[in-house]
A = this chain, B = another copy of it.
Amino acid sequence: MNQTPQWFEARFSPEMLVRIKVDRLVYAVQSAYQTIEVYDTSVFGRILVLDGVINVAEKDEFIYHEMLAHVPLITHPHPRSVLVVGGGDGGTVREVLKHPTIDRIELVEIDSAVVEVSRAFLPFVSCELDNPKVHITYEDAAYFVQKTSQRFDAILIDSTDPVGAGAVLFSESFYHDCRALLREGGVLAAQSESPFFDPHIVKPLYEMARTVFPIVRMYTAFVPSYVSGLWSFIFCSTSIDSVTQVTEDRIAALPDLRYYSPEIHQACFAIPPFVRIQYGV
């Protein structure tokens, strides 16, 4: 790609596209796994595009990353070790490190180019990747969870859509392997796509998760740069229910929150009836 397109076109679904005016193409590269592009836009600030899908947008990434990290970590009474699957941009790691109990984060990202591009061009998310508590492994997470001897208090699956290399992260075998790595009282959270546009992904994911974990919940957030704005996350645990066990003073102690709050923790589990009925959540 040698010239900046005037408009970036993102596919929300085969029958819905969004076109965003682009000020500048910052960088583009074809990695071993995907096409990686960085654009500057007025609408969303700087955006990271993987295989044509917006994965990180400067102006709203805080919503996704705060919600993926804080909802499960606040639920756990004392999280120390966290496995982040995917998330090579660093945004989830940045949020996890806000919890003072954390002493180790294992980041398992299949594509080192995502980390390199993020370090170079997306400092607002990659800013904590060099923190000494963070250990990065470049590997297929499905392989990592089979062989590691580490155990974790929380597993956060910060995946792309379930196509290509990311598809295995939505599989039953992967969830089984993750459960085996959780310490007692451990929690798992993952982005779980759009309940409005992606029922073919959301429905089997929740059905599968319920065969692996006794406690499975859906929570939601507004993510304007993702399709439909209504984005869902799956919360799984063997013993802790995220809705009822919240410590407000631990939330108040988290620095620089822009979306998450004690009120949002409760509200994000209020699922509209049409979603609740469709997915049994």
Query: Does any Cβ of B come within 8 Å of A274's Cβ?
Result: yes
Whether A18 lies near B17 (C-beta < 8 A) is yes
The residue in chain B whose Cβ has the minimal distance to the Cβ of A63 is: B272
The residue in chain B whose Cβ has the minimal distance to the Cβ of A261 is: B273
CB < 8 Å neighbour of A224 from B196, B270, B273: B196
Within 8 A of B (CB), among A261-276: 261, 263-264, 266-268, 270-274
The residue in chain B whose Cβ has the minimal distance to the Cβ of A22 is: B15
Whether B261 lies near A272 (C-beta < 8 A) is yes
Bound complex: CA of A270 vs CA of B230, how far in Å?
16
Whether A196 lies near B15 (C-beta < 8 A) is no
The residue in chain B whose Cβ has the minimal distance to the Cβ of A222 is: B230
Knowing A15-B21, A41-B15, A43-B16 are in contact, say whether A259-B230 is a contact too (CB < 8 A). Answer: no
How many Å from the CB of A43 to the closest CB on chain B?
5
Bound complex: CA of A264 vs CA of B41, how far in Å?
34
Query: Does any Cβ of B come within 8 Å of A19's Cβ?
Result: yes
Whether A19 lies near B20 (C-beta < 8 A) is no
Whether B267 lies near A270 (C-beta < 8 A) is yes
This chain: how many copies in the complex? 2
Bound complex: CA of A230 vs CA of B225, how far in Å?
11
Whether A263 lies near B270 (C-beta < 8 A) is yes
How many Å from the CB of A63 to the closest CB on chain B?
7
Query: Does any Cβ of B come within 8 Å of A200's Cβ?
Result: no
Bound complex: CA of A42 vs CA of B43, how far in Å?
27
Query: Does any Cβ of B come within 8 Å of A246's Cβ?
Result: no
Q: Which of chain B's residues have a CB closer than 8 A to the CB of A62? A: 274
Please encode chain A, from 9 to 42, with 1 for each CB lying within 8 Å of some chain B CB and 0 for all others.
0001111111111000000000000000000011
Please encode chain A, from 228 to 240, with 1 for each CB lying within 8 Å of some chain B CB and 0 for all others.
1110000000000
Q: Which of chain B's residues have a CB closer than 8 A to the CB of A273? A: 257-261
Q: A62-B274, A224-B229 are in contact. List 18 more A-B contacts (CB 8 A).
A: A15-B20, A15-B41, A15-B43, A16-B19, A16-B21, A18-B19, A223-B229, A228-B229, A229-B229, A257-B273, A258-B274, A259-B272, A259-B273, A260-B273, A264-B272, A266-B266, A267-B267, A267-B270
Supply 17 A–B pairs (Cβ within 8 Å), ascending by A: A15-B42, A16-B19, A18-B18, A18-B19, A19-B19, A196-B222, A196-B224, A222-B228, A222-B230, A222-B272, A229-B230, A258-B273, A259-B272, A263-B271, A264-B270, A266-B267, A267-B270
Residue numbers of A with Cβ under 8 A of B are: 7, 12-21, 41-43, 60, 62-63, 196-197, 220, 222-224, 228-230, 257-261, 263-264, 266-268, 270-274
